[in-house]
Chains A and B, each alone.
Chain A
Amino acid sequence: MEGYTCIDKVESFEDGDMDNYKVNGYDILLSCVSGDFYAVEAICTHEYAELADGDLEDYFVTCPLHFACFDVRDGSVKDPPATKSLQTFEVRVEDNLIWISNSPKEVRT
């Protein structure tokens, strides 16, 4: 798939799972919610912490360091202290394989 990188099989994921991947130099957090996949940047925008060490509940991932919370669907901030959204990446599933776009959806404002 042009512009995408295949990272794993769908079966490797259960609902509520999160995992880190490196795609085209980007550190990406892939989460699985209600059978759908969402990819956002893997590092909190507040200071520095890996979101994969945090907690995913529904569509919301909480950072383990100061508990900022983001919506994995659009990267938006739900709880402070973060004030900047996470970058998001398009995910496609084909033939039971998960593909993540090589570049973020749009440049963060």
Chain B
Amino acid sequence: MNHGLTEDQASILAGLDQLLGSRAPAAPTHPVTFIHDAALDGAIAEAGFLDIAREPGFGALDAALIVERLARLPCALEAAASAIVAPALDIAAGLRPIALATDPAAAVRHLPMARALLYPRGEAAVLIEIDPARVTPVETLFAYPYGRLDGLEGLAERVVGEAATLRRRWRIALAVEAAGCMAAGVAAVVEHITTRHAFGRPLGSFQAIQHRLARAAETTEATKWLAFRAAWTDSEADAAIAAGFAQQRIAELTYDLQQFSGAMGLTLEFPLHLWTYRLRALAGELGGATVQSRAAAAAAWGD
């Protein structure tokens, strides 16, 4: 048991921070519900950060550390599926971005930019390579690009592993990504309420706000440590617990963060929605908290 970074992990994250520091994500020129930064996505992938779990001596936890860091960015990068899910399946490095679906006919996160769509079919995890021309973007408040495939005709499904593996890693990926979004959302709101004054004092000095944000901090930390543990153990129970905990808490956390940002928080100009509306998208994935909760119960106690 050791919560500290290894030297390798510290230097990988330092390298990532250096890359991110040297090139600020492209600022949107007009109001957007999500930010897509293809150049940054390419730079991160090219530098190999998303393939870390494939390296000898490294694994899903190392990938999770990277994904959590990336999720704190305002832009919606596809990192979690590439870095955490794909390495556990028969998917070549570099075949990405990857969109994850429970139903390939539904509107799917990351699909407009994806080169591959991964979903469960019965007991199997199957992958199809995507022709972007066949994807229609879906307008949404969720701060991810969403798209819908025009159908499966003519697309070859390839079995890349077991559906259970896909689901387990997806849960871990979801929890890790949620942890990063929560951390960034809390930080944005802390800054807002520290600088904004009302009634002659900073908003952040009101206990009614402090307590709810303190709980948001507790949610964020608990989500993070549950997610990192799940990435390390790669166990069914830990994965379901981490994802379920995150999903369970998202409604309360995002409500509070939005609330403390006032009307400003409801604008596209204020960046908060770039995290809260990713979180709200994650809340409903894989069937939502109750599915994860029942899966956790089954993994812990059996039928």
The answer to whether A and B interact is no
Write the residues of chain B forming the contact surface with A, with a CB cutoff of 8 angstroms. none
Name A's B-contacting residues (CB within 8 A). none
